[in-house]
Structure 1
């Protein structure tokens, strides 16, 4: 096959963008830890509103504000976007709360098991077939979570919540024929009235410890920058997804929970028990099997496509 320098450069730039995306996501816990003294619901409200401002500015610069209006036409479309908004809002809140409350390790576990939750949702909702190695990966993940639950005496509810809400978010996004910037802008636009109500309650003293915005320069700037912190990696991810193979996306995305895990254990010095030490390697093995199965499937499908193409061209 003749090398394509343009395609190679696009792929390399896509990989760099993907690594940057996952690095930002993986280190974002350090950012939100600086806001641990602010009520999580208030941080979520600011993240929602400043994300909306960020995306509106981007769409305005791209002269695509009209696409946002088109995306919110029709009850079914609005209902779908509304459900996606609820799922991503719950996911954001769970992550912000977990980091502030000293449960960043459980948060990283949630994002580790998310791909396996997505596999199960694809099987249950769309009837997607699973390779034997994928079933083995799901079984290993279930074994790890069961062992962790038994050892700690309580289920890792934070991990479940984060993986399931993000899985359902991804599931419903498959039915939306909107670009990532437009769809997330529409989601935070629907959430904006609730966010404004939360901030009004916080600044009126009805939320304990609330009203951080404007109290000091540090908190004010940090809350405002939560918008770009949300928007920039999303745009980088969109750029990368169009230029690299899905198997590459699947493997590189584990940078995110790995960095979260390292930050939680090394920087935040969270408790890492023997049960965690047994469960995490099993999860990592499950993800290795899952990634290998995905790469093998992609290679097999490409080989079949090449064989079919060569067969047609030879006739």
Structure 2
């Protein structure tokens, strides 16, 4: 416990988590550099090259004993398969949203994710939540209704990202420390290899594989997709072990803010008045959520003293 309380340890953890969320925030620009590669080939490349990268990490860190111990437990294997399915949905929807010029909508999904996580805590883990958290949930629901009615479109990308990443976090919580970050990502990628193979076969027979057929720089960028996927997840895992959930809860909004700014300022995606209204309501919900986190942290410190 003393290590966790160390100011240096907390600073290191905050730096790791911040780096992870910054990298996630830059992902839309990275995927746009991969054009003309389509979303199905990109995600297949992420799966394959993430798996290769994780195998290298396991070898260098001598982590094969840990992964063998997980393989011997069918229950843990089942959880990693479910986690792999959820993160695949998240990756695929995110890349589709990015390449279809809907980066602003992807940011909406990650703005709402912490609030959805609270709901999962209530209905799945039977946790009791505070009054301000209920207020944040109500305001977030209102925002979605406003966007659907005012903008005239169901935000399926945003809601799919919210649900898939929220459930992925729930699975990770269920598994706990029994599965370390590298072993977990290795197994999740392993389960997705057949899916990636099917996608590559379909792409090869339809639009054609772009890997190795565009330019040397493009090939290197696609190869790097595995590292770009794995590194933020590993940084996040390293940070989460060193800082409390209140700090994580505040830092995580770096990613959707960066994605929103990318969509509006760099990609110039349309922002009609009704979409602005919806986002402003979402930001009010986020503000209530952050105020609740700050108040809870203050009460916790007073109790500790």
TM-superposed deviation, 1:51? 0.6
- Structure 1: distance between partners of 2:184 and 2:70: 7
**Which residue is 2:228 aligned to?**
229
Distance in 2 between the 1:214 and 1:70 partners? 37
Tell whether 2:169 aligns with 1:179: no
Residue by residue over 1:124-173, the C-alpha shift from the partner in whole angstroms, topping out at 9 and shown as x without a partner, is 00111111100000000011110010011121111010000111111111
Aligned twin of 1:114: 113
Aligned to 1:245: 244
Structure exhibiting the larger radius of gyration computed from Cα positions: 1
Does structure 1 conserve the Cα–Cα contact (< 8 Å) formed by 2:36 and 2:210?
no
The one of 196, 207, 210 aligned to 1:209: 207
Shift of 1:199: 2.2
Unaligned runs of 5+ residues in structure 2 are: none
Aligned partners of 1:157 and 1:260: how far apart in 2? 17
The 2-side partners of 1:150 and 1:305 are apart by 47
Superposed CA deviations along residues 247-301 of structure 1, whole A, max 9, x for unmatched, are: 1111011000000000011111111111121111211111121122123223323
Q: How does 1:285-296 map to 2 (within 5 A)?
A: 285-296=284-295
State the match for 2:46 in structure 1: 47
Q: Distance in 2 between matches of 1:170 and 1:235?
A: 14
Task: For 1:1-315, list aligned pairs within 5 A.
Answer: 7-176=6-175, 177-202=178-203, 205-206=204-205, 208-215=206-213, 216-306=215-305
- How many angstroms does 1:219 deviate by? 2.5
Shift of 1:72: 2.5
| CA positional deviation for 1:19 | 1.7
Cα distance between partner residues in 2 of 1:280 and 1:73: 47
Contact residue 134 and residue 290 of structure 1 kept, 8 A: yes
| 236-245 or 148-157: bigger deviation | 236-245
Contact 1:71 1:183 in 2 (8 A): no
**In 1, Cα distance between equivalents of 2:167 and 2:17:** 22
Structure 1 position 70, deviation (Å) = 2.0
Distance in 2 (alpha carbons) for counterparts of 1:180 and 1:296: 31
| Structure 1, unaligned runs of 5 or more | 307-315
Residues 49 and 223 of structure 2 are in contact (CA less than 8 Å); yes or no, is this contact kept in structure 1? yes
In structure 1, distance between residues paired with 2:164 and 2:191 = 18
Q: Distance in 2 between matches of 1:90 and 1:233?
A: 18
Native 8 Å contact 1:87 1:168 kept in 2: yes
Q: Which runs of 4+ in 1 moved over 3 A?
A: none
Question: More deviation in 230-239 or 118-127?
Answer: 230-239
Checking the alignment, whether the CA contact within 8 Å between 1:39 and 1:210 is kept in structure 2 is no
- Does the 8 Å contact 1:110/1:161 carry over to 2? yes
8 Å CA contact retained: 2:240, 2:248: yes
RMSD of aligned C-alpha atoms? 1.8
Helix, strand or coil at the partner of 1:174: helix
Contact 2:115 2:136 (C-alpha < 8 Å) held by counterparts: yes
2:109 touches 2:158 (CA, 8 Å); kept in 1? Answer: yes
Structure 2 counterpart SS, 1:175: helix
Q: How many residues align?
A: 300
CA deviation map 1:219-249 (0-9, x unaligned): 3111110111111112211221122232111
Q: C-alpha deviations, 1:31-77, integer Å up to 9, x for none?
A: 01122422211110100111111111111111012212222234332
